[in-house]
Amino acid sequence: MWNSLKARLFQGFRTGKFPYAPPQLPEHFAGRPEIIPEKCDICGKCADACPTGAVTIAADKLSIDTGKCIFCGKCADTCPVQALTMSREYRLAAMERKELIADGSPYIPPRPTDREFLKFCGKSLKIRQVSAGGCAACELDFNVLNTLAWDMGRFGIQVVASPRHADCILVTGPVSKNMLLALKKSYDAAPRPVWVIACGSCAISGGIFAGSPAVHDGVEEILKPDLYVPGCPPHPATLLEGILRLMDKKF
């Protein structure tokens, strides 16, 4: 016991300062796409390079659907006039699907509008995670939030083993045909009211699996998400910031 206490004392404070301070992002981090409309000549090279169809050109205007984007950066790499870059903006989560579109307009992370959610979950949140055919990348980055470095429990956020104890269902993966029943049963078993978080590009739009007969192109075809968290996978800071913003936590 004494040796354990000495070791803990030597380790000191290990939890990161986020969200009270900006997160320490890796050098290769790719955040919300940034478009400079006046520089774009609508050549279409970025749209051709996108593997998921996230980049579109309509009415001579370029836009990127971050719900489809896997943040590979190919669009930015192929832009001959550098009208498109991958920024360091990690605040990507949105409460409405349309808020995931990046088109060069000034970006302000949206605040929650669901007062019923805030009434029930403004101070604590119990999450049941369902892997609906994911590759485990989103699942791993969500699990990281339980570690000492992030410690989401300090905000009253906990993972529960049963959907019967959950306030919300966090879905990862494109919702494969084989996992559809399990997802529905988990949602049906949760007490009402219950909310849904779509975590990662696959859960939002199907990601790289979109169009496959084996998947449902994300959770939106089955359940209406209350929070969309883009990424492939979302960085832990992106996911935690989105959940805290959904809870209307201010720092």
Q: At what angle do helices 236-246 and 137-144 cross, to 10 degrees?
A: 70
In the beta sheet, which residues pair with residue 127?
159, 168
Query: What does the alpha-carbon distance between residue 193 and residue 90 come to, in Å, rounded to a whole number?
Result: 29
pLDDT at 109: 93
Provide the pLDDT for residue 12.
61
Q: Are 242 and 147 in contact (CB under 8 A)?
A: no
- Rounded to two decimals, the pTM is 0.92
Which residues share a beta bridge with 129? 170
Distance CA 64, CA 54 (A): 5
pLDDT at 122: 87
pLDDT (tens, 9 = 90+) of the chain, 251 residues, equals 778 777 767 666 578 899 999 999 999 999 999 999 999 999 999 999 999 999 999 988 999 999 999 999 999 999 999 999 999 999 999 999 999 999 999 999 999 988 899 999 989 999 999 999 989 999 999 999 999 899 999 999 999 999 999 999 999 999 999 999 999 999 999 999 999 999 999 999 999 999 999 999 999 989 999 999 999 999 999 999 999 999 999 87
Q: Is 220 helix (H, G, I), strand (E, B) or coil?
A: helix
Q: For position 5, what pLDDT does the model report?
A: 73
Q: pLDDT at position 2, please?
A: 77
Among 235, 159, 182, 173, which residue's Cα sits nearest to residue 208? 173
* pLDDT score of 16: 87
Note the pLDDT of residue 59.
Answer: 85
- How far apart are alpha carbons 227 and 229 in whole angstroms? 6
Neighbouring C-beta atoms of residue 36, cutoff 10 Å: 14
- Count helices and strands (H / E) in the chain: 8, 10
- Which pLDDT score is estimated for 215? 95
pLDDT at 199: 98
Q: What is the CA radius of gyration of the chain?
A: 19
